[in-house]
Amino acid sequence: MNKILVINGPNLNMLGIREPDIYGKQTYADLVEFVKQVGADVSVEVDCVQSNHEGVIVEAIQGALGKYDGIVINPAAYTHTSIAILDALKAVNLPAAEVHISNPWERDDFRRESYAGMACVYACAGLGFEGYACAIKFLVEYPNNPQQL
Q: Does 102 bind ligand DQA (CB under 6 A)?
A: yes
Q: Interacting stretch for ligand DQA, rule CB under 6 A, among 57-65, 69-77, 115-123, 139-147?
A: 69-77
Q: Of 42-50, 57-65, 76-84, 141-149, which part binds ligand DQA (CB under 6 A)?
A: 76-84
Q: State yes or no: residue 111 binds ligand DQA (CB under 6 A).
A: yes
To ligand DQA, the closest distance from the beta carbon of 137 in angstroms equals 18
Our answer to whether residue 100 is catalytic in this structure is yes
Residue 100 binds ligand DQA (CB under 6 A): yes
53 flagged as catalytic: no
Gap between the Cα atoms of 21 and 39, Å rounded: 27
Find the shortest distance in angstroms from Cβ 46 to ligand DQA: 18
Number of H-type helices and E-type strands within the chain: 5, 5
Among 46, 101, 124, 140, binds ligand DQA (CB under 6 A): 101
> Cβ closer to ligand DQA: 102 or 140?
102
C-alpha pair distances (Å), 147 with each of 27, 112, 129, 138: 34, 25, 25, 11
Q: Would you tell me which residues interact with ligand DQA (CB under 6 A)?
A: 11, 74, 76-77, 79, 100-102, 104, 111
Catalytic residue IDs: 23, 100
